Structure 1
Amino acid sequence: MRILIIEDDQNKRKQVLDFIEETISHFDIESKSSFKSGLKELINTHYDLLLLDMSMPTFDITVSETGGKLLPFAGKEILRQMKRRKIFIPTIVITQFEKFGDYEKTLNLEELKAELERDFRDIYLGAVYYNPASSSWRDDLKEKLKNIEGVNID
Structure 2
Amino acid sequence: MKVLLVEDDPDKARRLEDWVVSTYSSCEVSTARSFTPALDFLIDSTPPFDLMLLDMSMPNYEGASYKYDGTAPETYAGRDLLAQMRLRGIRVPTIVVTMFDTFGEGAGRVSLEGLAKELKQDYPESFRELVYYSPAQDSWKISLRKIVDRIVK
Which secondary structure does the structure 2 equivalent of 1:147 belong to? helix
Amino acid at match of 2:40: K
How far is 1:97 from its partner? Answer: 0.3
* Equivalent residue in structure 1 for 2:113, among 110, 113, 120: 110
Normalized per residue, which structure has more strand? 1
Contact between 1:72 and 1:102, CA under 8 Å: does it hold in 2? no
Query: RCO (CA 8 Å, sep 6+): is it higher in 1 or 2?
Result: 1
The percentage of aligned residue pairs carrying the same residue is 36
Amino acid at match of 1:117: K
Please tell me the root mean square deviation across aligned C-alpha atoms, in Å: 1.5
Instruction: Determine the structure 1 residue equivalent to 2:126.
Output: 123
Which secondary structure does the structure 1 equivalent of 2:91 belong to? coil
**2-structure distance, mates of 1:15, 1:142:** 14
Show the 5 A alignment for 1:93-104. 93-102=96-105
Normalized per residue, which structure has more helix? 2
Q: Does 2:108 correspond to 1:89?
A: no
How far is 1:103 from its partner? Answer: 6.4
Gaps of 5+ in 2: none
**1-structure distance, mates of 2:57, 2:118:** 16
Contact between 1:116 and 1:124, CA under 8 Å: does it hold in 2? yes
Instruction: Determine the structure 2 residue equivalent to 1:22.
Output: 22
* Equivalent residue in structure 1 for 2:50, among 36, 48, 51: 48
**Structure 1 length-normalised TM:** 0.89
Of 74-83 and 40-49, more deviation after overlay is shown by 40-49
**Structure 2 length-normalised TM:** 0.90
How many aligned residue pairs are there?
A: 147
Gaps of 5+ in 1: none
- Poorly superposed stretches of 4+, deviation over 6 Å: none
Amino acid at match of 1:23: T
Instruction: Determine the structure 2 residue equivalent to 1:143.
Output: 146
